[in-house]
Chains A and B, each alone.
Chain A
Amino acid sequence: AQSVTQPDIHITVSEGASLELRCNYSYGATPYLFWYVQSPGQGLQLLLKYFSGDTLVQGIKGFEAEFKRSQSSFNLRKPSVHWSDAAEYFCAVGATMAGTALIFGKGTTLSVSS
């Protein structure tokens, strides 16, 4: 069965430091992969997505993610974190066939310290 694991429930990073949020997936074929961000009490906003091709994907707000097939991972990175990046981040996997729904990880809460 398809699944997504975000091993870190909560991460604290100093402002200006680099960030990496981990995501591992279980899927029988090459999936579609997504990262979303959620501010408290709000909906989710798409940061970036991977379908195929270049394994390093650029997104909004200075985020990037790298797809590593051998490790079944799709980790999210940012070189320098800003206080406004504090939020909850969700990794999601989608099937390559129509008629299915995204499967989400349980999320990682990012806190930014000054």
Chain B
Amino acid sequence: DGGITQSPKYLFRKEGQNVTLSCEQNLNHDAMYWYRQDPGQGLRLIYYSQIVNDFQKGDIAEGYSVSREKKESFPLTVTSAQKNPTAFYLCASSTAGSNYGYTFGSGTRLTVV
């Protein structure tokens, strides 16, 4: 079955470390997105990519980086520059553009210890 897979489900990071969250899809979707979810804040856009080797910053890109070397994959790196990284991270994909809605992964919960 086609879908979008995020791993790991839970991730613990020490202060000062970079960590990478994985997002893989086999839906043949062109566009992929990363959102951060905090209680009471809804979903805030970190980065998105419409095609391979191209991506755009969202509203809260500082302290994060991404790559899009393959259509199926859109990993997110949370760098040590991100001051408050503890959150629930959601990856999504769609056909070109957001017009048709997203398919979401099941999320990664990142905790700084």
Contact = CB atoms under 8 A, between A and B. Distances in A.
A90 B42 contact: yes
B17 interface: no
A43 B106 contact: yes
Nearest to A97: B97
B2 interface: no
Interface residues of A, number: 27
Contact of B40 (A32, A95, A104, A106): A106
Contacts of A104: 35, 42-43
A9 B97 CA distance: 29
A46 B97 contact: no
Contacts of A17: none
Contacts of A106: 40-42
Contact of A43 (B41, B50, B90): B90
B98 A43 contact: no
B71 interface: no
13 contacts: A32-B98, A32-B99, A43-B92, A44-B43, A46-B101, A46-B103, A94-B101, A98-B97, A102-B33, A104-B42, A105-B42, A106-B41, A106-B42
